[in-house]
Structure 1
């Protein structure tokens, strides 16, 4: 079974849980190791958020291209219909050099 992808909100909740014990009323006390660990976690969450933003942008671009292709296809079909059928309802077929 595949593991669920990490969520930015879950990682931020974890970081808040680690950060809150260092807050003491009017200031924050944190030793160098805890601060470095917090910075590394924040960098990891930032990287995750950037990856998710890029993935979302790819999906948005793909969806936009699909919609544009559908519109172009509909327009091309409309133009072909106008070229093939004349206003009197007769079908115009290409000759391709054959003589009847």
Structure 2
């Protein structure tokens, strides 16, 4: 499944199913074919995503530090980080929130 997040405030944001599911869970929404993020929910959603991004980055830094302490190297990151995946949606929320526009998907 693809998620296509739409708002009057900016361009569509498209995510593959598993990535969209993850981001929706982070902001307290159940993955579903259709849904809405209302402007009143956006500050908490942006904060939740930022907290998850910081936790992911801290875990990576800790793993690298532990590997260096043991004389090992951590393999290069594979794939896209949460920050890279979620940034377009956060950016859309930053535009939609002050304009009082909803973000919908699947509609």
TM range (shorter): 0.3 to 0.5
TM-score (ref. length: structure 1): 0.41
TM-score (ref. length: structure 2): 0.38
Larger Cα-atom Rg: 1
Which one scores higher on RCO, CA 8 angstroms, separation ≥ 6? 2
Choose between structure 1 and 2: higher strand proportion. Answer: 2
